[in-house]
Structure 1
Amino acid sequence: MPETAISLLDAPRCHLGEGPSYDPATDTAWWVDILERRLFEAPLAGGAVRVHALPVMASAVAAVDADRQLLAAEDGLYLRGLADGQLTRFCPLEAEEAGTRSNDGRVHPSGALWISTMGRAAEPQRGAIYHVAGTRVTRLYGGLTIPNAICFAPDGATGYFADTDRGLLNRVALDPRTGLPTGEPATLYDHRGGEGGLDGATVDTEGRIWCARWGASCVDAYGPDGARLRTVRVPVSRPSCPTFAGPGLDRLLVTSAYEGMTPAERAADPEHGRTLLVDLGRLVDFDVRGLRAPAFRVSA
């Protein structure tokens, strides 16, 4: 591995890093530490990483406009002012379920959000995936344990998701105008019996799916046909979610975690919980460019 292919951001370790996003207008990366209720703001061109304390456990970050961003949290979706950090709950999400929290999420090209929930102790079949258009919340899938890998094909006509507990990466046909399913999910890749678990994912301009593999120290690239094309090793054992970042959208920002690790496991994984920037051009033999993440539309 080229020595400069992977860099560690100068930010505190995350107990459970998740939900990264990138703002090209300001060259700034954002991500959260779910369990410690922290939001990170990192200017990639240089400068100190800012850590914002949150009053709720947030799991995903998305752009709204030049002044606001969206946080998915344990009891709903919040609008956050970029200038003052003020949070306003936009709409509830399982707010009456004290035993669940939000987990993985992505904005579809239509501007609608797919967001998952799960049991706080990862109780079997307590998780779900929702479609949110404005404040209209539609439950898409239930009976999941750890819903993850939510992402979309470049044209918005296909959605992907996984249940880390089941080990299956699914695909489903979508209406590109709304992000709502038009068919039933089918298995794209069967990871049952493989090392680690399918976690967060993102898609590049060619429709390849880049999925973090929790517990296996890598990010895998899958083709739209389900073939596993590449495995990129990373220096953390529990990578959790990637997103494309940098002015050329040619690097992967990858969050990680040390949730559930014993002292011996932390000692064996000295970079546990760190956030990485991966220069894919130095690690794969094909061009990779990410998609600019769409903004969440506050009106349906």
Structure 2
Amino acid sequence: MTSTTAGTPARALGPTRCELGEGPTYDPITDTAWWFDILGRTLHEYRVGTDEAVAHPLPFMASALARVDGERQLLVTEHGLIFRDIATGGFSQHLAIEADDPTTRSNDARTHPSGAFWIGTMGKGAEDRKGSIYWYRKGELRKLFGDISITNCIAFSPAGDRGYFTDTRVGRIMSVALDPATGLPLAEPQPFGDADLPGDPDGAVVDAAGQLYVARWDGACVSVLAADGRHVEDIAVPAAKVTCPAFVGRNASKLLVTSAQEGMTDDERAKAPEAGMTFLLDLATTGRHDPVVMVN
């Protein structure tokens, strides 16, 4: 394996440090990026054009969101799918997920080009094989994969004919053929790419050329993999526990990357002041914006 590290400057978005930053996404209509501190129960809003940041406290743990329309977002939470009114911040329950098991919570999620939503769960204590990946579209929920310890790396090819996911504890990214019209699997998942990369695979996103950008937990970088699985480069991030990337900006030419300080001692946190921060990087590539989720 050959690895090159890109010298892309990373700018921290303010002084806020997340305990477990996750689930970034971007709304091109309002030029606004969103991400979560799962353990800190906070939804972060960043207005790209004005460089203004707002923190919204949450009454529950949440990990990802999808755009519904100009008024609503669909949040992925420990209580399932919940609508959030953007103007008022109000919540309304939409659909429960694993309501019979209070020991699990949501984790990674991303919207398929068809408007389907893949949603990952895991144990609140990251217990072995406690998590699953679900498919949601137009009010329907189906379980796709189970026995996953830490669901991550959910991402889709530009044509919607391929999906990716991982169990971070196992460390192997999987690829699966999908029906582009529905986002449902057509075959069994197969290993994808090189497992011998820095750290462990976490969240991911795919650019317009089909390259997979994978955050590397304990790897201090985002690894870029070509559509055929070939390792292209590692983009350095000034935090060890890199959690998830998202393309932001009107032309999707910037990469927003979340990180975490979960599990670090007080001494480790003091020595790593950028741990848990959220970063913005300029890229020499064209990204893609997540589509709206189909709720009806």
Are 2:113 and 1:116 equivalent residues in the alignment?
no
Are 2:251 and 1:248 equivalent residues in the alignment?
yes
Sort the Cα spacing of 1:2 and 1:207 in 2 relative to 1 into closer, same or farther, 3 A.
Answer: closer
Cα distance in 1 for partners of 2:233, 2:112 equals 25
Cα distance in 1 for partners of 2:270, 2:279 equals 19
**41-50 vs 76-85, which moves further:** 41-50
Task: Map 1:153-172; keep pairs closer than 5 Å.
Answer: 153-172=157-176
Cα offset, 1:27, TM superposition = 1.0
Contact 2:6–2:235 (Cα < 8 Å) also in 1: no
Cα distance in 1 for partners of 2:168, 2:6 equals 31
Q: SS in structure 1 opposite 2:268?
A: helix
Q: SS in structure 1 opposite 2:52?
A: coil
Greater relative CO, 1 or 2 (CA 8 Å, sep 6+): 2
Contact 2:7–2:236 (Cα < 8 Å) also in 1: no
Partner of residue 216 from structure 1, selected from 214, 219, 224: 219
Are 2:111 and 1:101 equivalent residues in the alignment?
no
Cα offset, 1:233, TM superposition = 0.6
- Alignment partner, residue 19 of structure 1: 23
Sequence identity (%)? 47
Q: SS in structure 2 opposite 1:78?
A: strand
- The residue type paired with residue 145 of structure 2 is Y
Cα offset, 1:266, TM superposition = 1.4
Q: Deviations over 1:156-186 (max 9, x none)?
A: 0000001100111110000000000010000
Cα distance in 2 for partners of 1:4, 1:184 equals 37
Partner of residue 235 from structure 2, selected from 232, 235, 259: 232
- Alignment partner, residue 138 of structure 1: 142
Sort the Cα spacing of 1:45 and 1:180 in 2 relative to 1 into closer, same or farther, 3 A.
Answer: same
Sort the Cα spacing of 1:4 and 1:217 in 2 relative to 1 into closer, same or farther, 3 A.
Answer: closer
Cα distance in 2 for partners of 1:147, 1:4 equals 28
Partner of residue 275 from structure 2, selected from 235, 256, 272: 272
Partner of residue 189 from structure 2, selected from 185, 191, 194: 185
**261-270 vs 38-47, which moves further:** 261-270
The normalised TM-score by structure 1 is 0.94
Contact 1:252–1:280 (Cα < 8 Å) also in 2: yes
The normalised TM-score by structure 2 is 0.95
- Alignment partner, residue 202 of structure 1: 205
Cα offset, 1:96, TM superposition = 1.6
Cα distance in 2 for partners of 1:89, 1:78 equals 5
Cα distance in 2 for partners of 1:72, 1:39 equals 12
Contact 1:112–1:297 (Cα < 8 Å) also in 2: yes
Q: SS in structure 2 opposite 1:265?
A: helix
Cα offset, 1:246, TM superposition = 1.1
Cα offset, 1:190, TM superposition = 4.2
- The residue type paired with residue 133 of structure 1 is R
Q: SS in structure 1 opposite 2:159?
A: coil
Contact 1:167–1:190 (Cα < 8 Å) also in 2: no
Cα distance in 2 for partners of 1:99, 1:182 equals 31
- The residue type paired with residue 233 of structure 1 is A
- The residue type paired with residue 202 of structure 1 is V
Structure 2: where are the runs of 5+ without partners?
none
Cα distance in 2 for partners of 1:180, 1:101 equals 23
- The residue type paired with residue 291 of structure 1 is R
Q: SS in structure 2 opposite 1:49?
A: strand
Q: SS in structure 2 opposite 1:128?
A: strand
Are 2:133 and 1:129 equivalent residues in the alignment?
yes
Structure 1: 4+ residue segments shifted above 3 A: 1-4
The count of corresponding residues between Structure 1 and Structure 2 is 292
- Alignment partner, residue 44 of structure 1: 48
Q: Deviations over 1:85-110 (max 9, x none)?
A: 11111100112211100000001011
- Alignment partner, residue 9 of structure 1: 13
Are 2:74 and 1:70 equivalent residues in the alignment?
yes
